[in-house]
A and B are shown apart, each in its own frame.
Chain A
């Protein structure tokens, strides 16, 4: 049973617009969350993290929002760029060591 779910397999966004990628989880004990970006034929690249003591974390064009009551997190990319086209995974952990991954959302940013 998937403990971390990304229900949108794909997303297309115009360049310059906002991309919003969503992630839901079932385990209320998860307290540390990550977003990864993955290009074909490469390993995942860490993007941004958030711990459960926060509800928002920003890093440049990337912002992660955490709604603990809804067991939901989202990644906002503003403005979206063609180079952002990749598969994005969210991952969650209770201890910071073992992570449970979502299945990924393929983002396409259209020039």
Chain B
């Protein structure tokens, strides 16, 4: 299994809603990532988990809350989002927990629309 899966594929939410994005991999990877990507722009790194601990938070607003329940799962909890948060949210994983990784496997993303 060399896939990173993300659910849901599409999500529409209001500004007062609470929702969660989920990401899963079964490749034994110890680093997992959340990216945000606006249309036709490169992905922007949001968070990095290394060995289930948050190692990087790229100054992301607190309305985005990551969680890594175990080495295979990564969640992104969303609360009180703004319309400008509408984007494609990508999850990725890599083998190493440090910064010596070569390959990073991306999921297909969740298309989020905030009304």
Given contacts A96-B40, A97-B39, contact A43 B106 (CB under 8 A): no
Q: Which of A68-102 contact B (CB under 8 A)?
A: 87, 89, 96-101
Query: Cβ of B56 < 8 Å from any Cβ of A?
Result: yes
* Nearest neighbor of B37 in chain A, beta-carbon distance: A99
Given contacts A40-B99, A104-B102, A106-B102, contact A98 B108 (CB under 8 A): yes
Task: Find chain B residues with CB under 8 A from A89 CB.
Answer: 104
Given contacts A2-B2, A97-B39, A103-B105, contact A43 B99 (CB under 8 A): no
CA separation between A103 and B101, bound complex, in Å? 11
Instruction: Give the contact stretch, choosing among B17-25, B42-50, B62-70, B72-80.
Output: B42-50
A interface, how many residues as a size bin? 20 to 34
CA separation between A110 and B115, bound complex, in Å? 50
Q: How far is the CB of B57 from chain A (nearest CB, A)?
A: 12
Query: Cβ of A16 < 8 Å from any Cβ of B?
Result: no
Q: How far is the CB of A59 from chain B (nearest CB, A)?
A: 15
Q: Per-position contact with A for B78-115: 1 when CB-CB < 8 Å, else 0?
A: 00000000001010100000011111111011010000
Q: How far is the CB of B91 from chain A (nearest CB, A)?
A: 11
Number of B residues near A (Cβ < 8 Å) is: 27
Query: Is A41 touching B99 in the complex (CB atoms < 8 A)?
Result: yes
Task: Find chain A residues with CB under 8 A from B35 CB.
Answer: 43-44
Q: How far is the CB of A43 from chain B (nearest CB, A)?
A: 3
Task: Find chain B residues with CB under 8 A from A2 CB.
Answer: 2-3
**Most interface-central of B35, B40, B90 (chain A CB within 10 A):** B40
Query: Which residues from chain A sit less than 8 Å from chain B, CB to CB?
Result: 1-2, 9-10, 34, 36, 38, 40-46, 87, 89, 96-101, 103-104, 106
